[in-house]
Amino acid sequence: MDWLTDITYLKGVGPKRAELLNKEIGVFTVKDLLYYFPYKYVDRSKFYTVQDLTTDLAYVQMKGEIVRIQEEGHGNRKRLIAKFYDGVGTIDLVWFQGLKWIKNAIKTGQKYVIFGKPNFFKNGIISIPHPELETLEKYEARTIRGGLQPYYSTTEKLRKSFITSRVISELVAKALEILDNIPDFMPQYLIERIGFLSLVEALKNIHFPEDTHKLRLAEFRLKFDEFFINQLSLIKQKKLRTQKIPGYIFERVGDYFNRFYHEKLTFELTGAQKRVLKEIRRDFKSGHQANRLLQGDVGSGKTIVALMSMLIALDNGYQACLMAPTEILAQQHYNNFIELLDGLDINFRLLTGSTKTRERRIIHEQLMKGELQILIGTHALIEDTVQFKKLGLAIIDEQHRFGVAQRAKLWQKGQTPPHVIVMTATPIPRTLSMTLYGDLDVSIIDEMPPGRKPIITKHVKESQRRHLYNFINKEIAKGRQVYIVYPLIKESEKLDYKNLEQGYEHIVQIFPPPKYRVGILHGQMRPEDKELEMKRFARGETQILVATTVIEVGVNVPNATVMVIESAERFGLSQLHQLRGRVGRGGDQSYCILVTKDKLSSDARKRIDTMVSTTDGFKIAEMDLRLRGPGDIFGTAQSGFPFHFRIANLSKDGAILQLARNVAEEVLREDPELSRPEHELLKREVDREIKRSPWGLIS
């Protein structure tokens, strides 16, 4: 039998079961079945005796006979107890449900193999509730017994049709027995050099491990496989892109850049900013389209780097654009540019959803003529009516909110694409950025501008709220400003707005006018009103801004020193970190106060503790990954985290990923097209992965 054979033809399956396996767990072929891995193993390699039982054993297997069966208790509390003697001592097997059935099924004097989790009671009695139980004869007749036993996840429907974890394991065992050949795509030289198990060995041991050592080797091989194919396909796609897609060449650094640098820049660039600018300049001269991810924590100074890159494009006669995810942020970039570009005689404008038709028309016209040099805006930038004469550089702020298709809409088919720089303040753990952005070049600004004081983060419980208001009062008295943020979560939007409004009223009562001025900002306000509120806060006309997370991204008010986050337990770590980044932007000591209810779940507690103990975005991202898993962080629907691994785990297997990346790079260096005979099967796997890849090739 071939492993691509339809699962229907595996002995013991047939059309009915095949349909269930297709629908319920996506198993269509024998190969699919072999790649349906156990989610856990239970050690049934040894038999324990009563003497061996200790409180730290989770599950135990024992052999013995039932010597007495008795019922105890009344009504709801009725239970069945079987005294089980293993030749050394006696324990209780206990059932609380299905008493009648069990009572008929078990016999005294019969030898059994039992399996379960022992409980220890103060009076010295050891009992195992609802043990798995099998007669010794039956146990000895089984094909698979002893060792580490695989457990497979099943579904309600599968179980109803008696396709249990055990049945799946029997099917897998059968398949492994009768397959003639499992083709291994890993070239022999790598198997030898890295010391992998062959694919056959790996698959045998992932299902039925000979021992824990072999299991580890099997996991290593199969995890490596997934990462390896993934990395080969990403690196290959990137090579295709850089070889096939030409890019504009920006040779010169001219007047715009130089005048800005000498006349406008009031501070020295950090070492990291200089390094990143160099990396970008190298892209500009390479003759290939740049696709660079610019990663840097909030406040690390990405905007200046973006602006200076744009000035290089202008110096070479090209246009540039800057796209932001929200109207507030686009507006803020625009205001920032007004200040930064003052006197440089550069034509730049703002285009958002609320830009008036007349202004819009001017923008369209000037863009086509090439008179408009820089366009700043939101999604409105990628509408079909927006046509540049010569777009040389597109910068996308907070890229995780834009999909690939949107990126590609910035230019037309057949045209030379602009260089693309995507900026993100979401510190992405290295393991993730390697897979998520494996086809982009990555620059990291890992140094903060000098003179920043680390933000102090405190946890305040509901019952300590009064201290919070005293503290806010003191800061305001010093002339500082305060954000108070309420959660806004899609499912309960109405309720959340109610919370926000109540919160606002409450704050106004505690900080009443005219002494205090409190503003409110949320996503349902009209853009003009939002902008007005933001402006009032930025000018210092309001001291407290009560808001939803609309202020999360990019908002910059250096005089704001306190960020209060209400119901902080409802926020994810990366969001808390983003919000905290709104303060600490000036020279004054800043604070982030996390207000939670008194009692917290253990996960919420860990998030809060993490925030209190570190301001390092990368550490926080790692923790976030560990607590939530990559699936949640990059929920497929939301931002299109494109990869699904069966066995590899991005939060735990960073070292294997790194190895897979290194080996993939090396293999492609030696054989870029994977055209050597020893790479034939490997190429097939990689091509399949590329076809499936949601990134595809943008061209």
The contact set with ligand ADP (CB under 6 A) reads 267, 269-270, 273, 296, 298-304, 425, 449, 556, 585
Helix residue ranges per DSSP H, 185-270: 188-194, 199-207, 212-244, 255-259
- Contact at 8 Å (CB) between 459 and 539? no
- Contact at 8 Å (CB) between 343 and 415? no
CB of 325 to Mg ion, least distance (A): 11
Q: What does 270 interact with, of Mg ion, ligand ADP, none (CB < 5 to 8 A by kind)?
A: ligand ADP
Torsion of Cα atoms, 204 then 36 then 117 then 45, to 10°: 0
Phi, psi of 290 (to 5 degrees): -80, 140
Residue 481 has a CB neighbour count (10 Å cut-off) of 22
Helix residue ranges per DSSP H, 93-187: 99-105, 136-141, 156-160, 165-178
Assign 434 to helix, strand or coil.
Answer: helix
225-243 as b/e, with b when 16 or more CB fall inside 10 Å? bbbbbbbbbbbbbbeebbe
Site membership for Mg ion, residue 617 (CB under 5 A): no
Q: What does 206 interact with, of ligand ADP, Mg ion, none (CB < 5 to 8 A by kind)?
A: none
Based on CB atoms, which residue is closest to Mg ion, 438 or 554?
Answer: 554
Task: For residues 592 and 604, give the distance between their C-alpha atoms in angstroms, rounded to a whole number.
Answer: 17
CB of 155 to ligand ADP, least distance (A): 46
CB of 273 to ligand ADP, least distance (A): 6
Based on CB atoms, which residue is closest to Mg ion, 302 or 661?
Answer: 302
For residues 646-665, which are near Mg ion according to CB under 5 A? none
Based on CB atoms, which residue is closest to ligand ADP, 333 or 679?
Answer: 333
Site membership for Mg ion, residue 301 (CB under 5 A): no
CB of 337 to ligand ADP, least distance (A): 12
Based on CB atoms, which residue is closest to Mg ion, 563 or 674?
Answer: 563
Based on CB atoms, which residue is closest to ligand ADP, 17 or 480?
Answer: 480
CB of 575 to ligand ADP, least distance (A): 15
CB of 542 to ligand ADP, least distance (A): 20
Task: Give every CB contact of residue 375 below 8 A, 6+ residues apart in sequence.
Answer: 319, 320, 321, 322, 348, 349, 350, 351, 363, 367, 381, 386, 388
CB of 298 to Mg ion, least distance (A): 7
Based on CB atoms, which residue is closest to ligand ADP, 299 or 429?
Answer: 299
Q: What is the largest CA-CA distance in the chain?
A: 99
CA-derived radius of gyration, the chain: 32
Q: What does 304 interact with, of Mg ion, ligand ADP, none (CB < 5 to 8 A by kind)?
A: ligand ADP
CB of 329 to Mg ion, least distance (A): 8
Site membership for Mg ion, residue 503 (CB under 5 A): no
- Contact at 8 Å (CB) between 164 and 52? no
Amino acid at 549: T
Torsion of Cα atoms, 276 then 280 then 285 then 287, to 10°: 140
CB of 269 to ligand ADP, least distance (A): 5
Q: What does 449 interact with, of ligand ADP, Mg ion, none (CB < 5 to 8 A by kind)?
A: ligand ADP
Phi, psi of 151 (to 5 degrees): -120, 130
**Residues listed for the chain:** 699
Q: Per DSSP, what are the bridge partners of residue 153?
A: none
Q: What does 267 interact with, of Mg ion, ligand ADP, none (CB < 5 to 8 A by kind)?
A: ligand ADP
Task: For residues 308 and 103, give the distance between their C-alpha atoms in angstroms, rounded to a whole number.
Answer: 81
- Which residue is closest to ligand ADP by CB? 301
For residues 510-569, which are near Mg ion according to CB under 5 A? 554
Based on CB atoms, which residue is closest to Mg ion, 163 or 485?
Answer: 485
Over the window 444 to 473, marking each residue x when it contacts Mg ion by CB under 5 A and - when it does not, the resulting string is ------------------------------
CB of 41 to Mg ion, least distance (A): 48
Based on CB atoms, which residue is closest to Mg ion, 44 or 333?
Answer: 333
CB of 554 to Mg ion, least distance (A): 4
Based on CB atoms, which residue is closest to Mg ion, 215 or 324?
Answer: 324
Based on CB atoms, which residue is closest to ligand ADP, 269 or 362?
Answer: 269
113 sits in which H/E element: strand 111-116
**DSSP annotation string for 132-157:** EEEEHHHHHH-SS-SSEEEE----HH
Site membership for Mg ion, residue 325 (CB under 5 A): no
Based on CB atoms, which residue is closest to Mg ion, 116 or 554?
Answer: 554
For Mg ion, the binding residues (CB under 5 A) are 554
